[in-house]
Amino acid sequence: MNKNQKTKQHQNNRITIETRINELRKVKDGWCQGGGVAPPCKDIDWILNHFTHAYPAELPSPYFYPTPDGGIQVEWSIGDFEASLAINFERKIGYWHMLHMERDDEDYSKYNLDSLDDWSHIYDKIRKMMKD
């Protein structure tokens, strides 16, 4: 892939991620069968900033879902893998879960999302899913 193709891929990936995250702004309190707290705008802004500036372009665009407690869960489906990162914004902690659907292998990890090293570990896990 040449430099222009990489730049275009990165731009398309960023636009997709921005669109997906910004959809969370439409969520209102009570969204989950009358319960469920909408994610606060400051938390949406925080995750948007991270994913549009630091998320590697070669990785697939994840999906973003609200959680009933006002958090956000990030999800990837890659081949036989399903992975999620449940984010606790108050503590800036991410709870990773990865499952290989065929082998029934699982991985659970907890990450400090204020740490660039911890984000790098998450990205490495996604890269490994892409290779397997």
pLDDT at 126 over 60: yes
Task: Report the pLDDT value the prediction gives residue 7, as an integer from 0 to 100.
Answer: 42
* Residues in Cβ contact with 63 at an 8 Å cutoff, skipping those fewer than 6 apart: 20, 74, 75, 76
User: What are the extents of the domains in the chain?
Assistant: 3-131
- How far apart CA 1 and CA 9 sit, in angstroms, is 10
Residue type, position 34, single letter: G
Residue type, position 72, single letter: I
Give the global pTM. Answer: 0.88
- Calculate the average pLDDT of the chain: 90
Residue type, position 15, single letter: I
**Residues 48-58: tens digit of each pLDDT:** 999 989 999 89
**Residues 20-39: tens digit of each pLDDT:** 999 999 999 999 999 999 99
**Residues 3-15: tens digit of each pLDDT:** 454 444 545 566 7
Closest CA to 104 of 82, 125, 132, 122: 82
- How far apart CA 11 and CA 100 sit, in angstroms, is 30
pLDDT at 64 over 90: yes
Identify the H or E element spanning 54.
none
